Each structure stands twice: as C-alpha cells, then as structure tokens.
C-alpha cells in the first residue's frame, strides 16, 4: 500500500484520460490537485464518490482545485462513466497501472472472504507546488468532497 504521506513530493505521473488526452503533474502547477483512485467505473461506491465530487465541483473550482479520477478501466469504460454521470473532470484510463503504481495504491484486498490484488480507494490532495497536502485512505464515498474541503 501507499508509502506516500503528507509533505512528500507527489509522483511525476503521466496518463491518458477517457479521450486519449495526456495529463501529468506539471499540467497542474499553480493549482491544487485532487487525484482520486477508485476500483472500477460504474460500481455503486465509485459512482457515489464521483457523483459527490461532481455535485461539489463549483466549490472545488472556487478554491483553485482541479480534480482527476484514476482507475485501471479502459478509456471506453471511463468515457461511458463520465458521459453517463456528466462528470466535469477527466478520468484517467490507467490500464498499464503506471499512475496507480506510482502512487502505491495497488495491493492485496479482501472482499467477501476472497483475497485479490486491486486498487485501494485513496485520494491525494496535492498543493500548487506538487507537495502532498493530504492522503485520504478512509474515503467516505457519499461525503468525499467534505473530507477534502474541510
């Protein structure tokens, strides 16, 4: 699991969103960046989390935040998810898991008694200079914006 913590320099990631557009840490210099990792597009918890962020998007913008969702879903799955719920932020299709690995959110999980490797739902708040301001690993899917904009 993630070894990144508050005060660390954020990984200099690079990934493609649902439209094939490249996003990297440098693109967000001068803005606060919320990078939220979720296990799978269109599942109940991930939908609740992303919709809560969408519903509070104006509050994020008013506070100079950019948002970036990341999962290992395909660009097609991310595009469907984004269009279905009208998310105003990009979703990275990290199929090779390079961004997921850079942030250290891939690892063993348990669900209904089964163990498997997957994405741990984790959010990183990165400041204007690329320093991690907060790491939220206990994500409240229906009230995630409140956890970030405290």
Tens of pLDDT, residues 71-113: 999 999 999 999 999 999 999 999 999 999 999 999 999 888 9
Q: pLDDT tens digit string along 24-81?
A: 999 999 999 999 999 999 999 999 999 999 999 999 999 999 999 999 999 999 999 9
Q: Compute CA 131 distance to the chain's CA centroid, rounded to the nearest angstrom.
A: 16
> Residue 97 domain-assigned?
yes
> Residue 106 domain-assigned?
yes
Whole-angstrom distance between the N-terminal and C-terminal Cα of the chain? 25
* pTM as predicted: 0.95
Residues known to be catalytic: 46
> Residue 6 domain-assigned?
no
What are residue 55's phi and psi, to 5 degrees? -65, -20
Q: Cα–Cα distances in Å, from 19 out to 8, 16, 57, 70, 90?
A: 30, 8, 20, 14, 9
> Residue 59 domain-assigned?
yes
> Residue 19 domain-assigned?
yes
Count of structural domains, the chain: 1
Q: pLDDT tens digit string along 114-132?
A: 999 999 999 999 999 999 9
Domain coverage including residue 72: 14-148
The CATH number of whichever domain residue 55 belongs to comes to: 3.40.30.10
Helix, strand or coil, per DSSP, at residue 51: helix
> Residue 2 domain-assigned?
no
């Amino acid at each position: 699991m993630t070894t990144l913590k508050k005060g660390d320099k954020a990984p200099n990631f690079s990934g493609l969103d649902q439209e094939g557009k490249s996003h990297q840490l440098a693109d967000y210099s001068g803005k606060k960046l919320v990078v939220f990792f979720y296990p799978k597009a269109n599942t109940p918890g991930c939908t609740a989390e992303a919709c809560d962020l969408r519903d509070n998007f104006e509050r994020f913008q008013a506070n100079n935040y950019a948002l970036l969702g990341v999962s290992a879903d395909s660009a097609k799955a991310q595009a469907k998810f984004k269009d279905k719920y009208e998310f105003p932020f990009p979703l990275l299709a990290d199929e090779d898991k390079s961004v997921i690995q850079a942030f250290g959110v891939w690892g063993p999980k348990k669900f209904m008694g089964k163990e498997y490797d997957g994405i741990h739902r984790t959010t990183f708040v990165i400041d204007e200079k690329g320093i991690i301001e907060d790491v939220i690993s206990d994500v409240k899917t229906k009230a995630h914006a409140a956890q970030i904009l405290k």
